[in-house]
Amino acid sequence: MLKIMEELNNYKKMGQDLIDKLKLKTYPVAVKMIPPGEEVTSNALRPHKVFGREVPACMTYTWCRRSGMSFFLQGNDIACKPASIKYFGLEKTADPNDVYKAWERKAKYKANAEAEKKSRESDAVLDFGEIQGFVVSPLNKTIVNPDVVMIYTSPLNLSHLILAATYNGECITSHFNGMESSCKEGIVRTYKTNECHVVSPGMGDRVLAAVQDHEMIFSIPESKLKMVLDNLFLAGNKLSFDPFGIPHMNPTLSAGNIFDNPVEPGVWEYLRKRINK
């Protein structure tokens, strides 16, 4: 029990450090996949009991990051059946194509059924029964050891997070098709690939879960959480000025000279001297 509390406290500290360093306006969301047969903490609320019916999964992420509530989601909690069936594998229908048919006949997010399927060929999914459900909890108050952490934040902070995640030489590859983004990219793909991902919230996230116009998501697997946190604001540490802080520096970089000194990275002058004339 003591070890469990120490681990939770460590995650809580990392969550608070992210809030403080990035000046986040909402809590980072810790996500824990619960395999079949594993005990689920009783401190996680069931959405269908709290709200009186099924709700979109993305709406619980909003409640989590804005109110500090923790939830345990299963199929009968999730109103967005494409997410429950196709991505989380919590429910199923007799025909595997039912989700694509529903999208084409009742929504038409893409031009036709073929386009609906083609745009999702590279989707990361969980097999039916692979998990019994998942818990979402604010990282700085977390009740679970996370598998994934989603940070809802500004484009500026997104740049800082990308720089931190790639500081040791990695590169980030992300996927976009405009729909189901927080669920399939923010959670499932990050969990399955064990890689960081840039997520552009889908229209469901924005219309149903009130993700704001200025918000993006950066999703981090647990294995890379400490690395990203430790690397924040290290990029550009040999520059003679500090352009990568928060709030962001005034856009004077490369504007000419200030007090007869060029306002530009030393990298440029270093390479100028080495260009073959």
**pLDDT tens by residue, the chain, 277 residues:** 778 889 999 999 999 999 999 999 999 999 999 999 999 999 999 999 999 999 999 999 999 999 999 999 999 999 999 999 999 999 999 998 999 999 999 999 999 888 989 999 999 999 999 999 999 999 999 999 999 999 999 999 999 999 999 999 999 999 999 989 999 999 999 999 999 999 999 988 999 999 999 999 999 999 999 999 999 999 988 876 666 777 766 555 555 777 777 777 788 888 888 898 6
Q: How far apart are the first and last CA of the chain?
A: 69
Is 134 within a domain? yes
Which pLDDT belongs to residue 237? Answer: 85
In DSSP terms, 129 is beta-bridged to: none
Question: Domain range holding 34?
Answer: 2-231
Alpha helix locations (H) across the chain?
2-22, 47-51, 57-67, 81-82, 98-106, 113-118, 155-165, 181, 190-193, 203-209, 222-231, 266-272
Is 161 within a domain? yes
Is 34 within a domain? yes
Number of domains in the chain: 1
CA distance readout (Å), 274 to 140, 194, 268, 269? 49, 40, 10, 9
Is 120 within a domain? yes
Is 268 within a domain? no
In three-state secondary structure terms, 135 is strand
Is 255 within a domain? no
Is 247 within a domain? no
Is 26 within a domain? yes
Q: Strand ranges (DSSP E) for 112-254? A: 133-138, 148-153, 197-199, 216-221
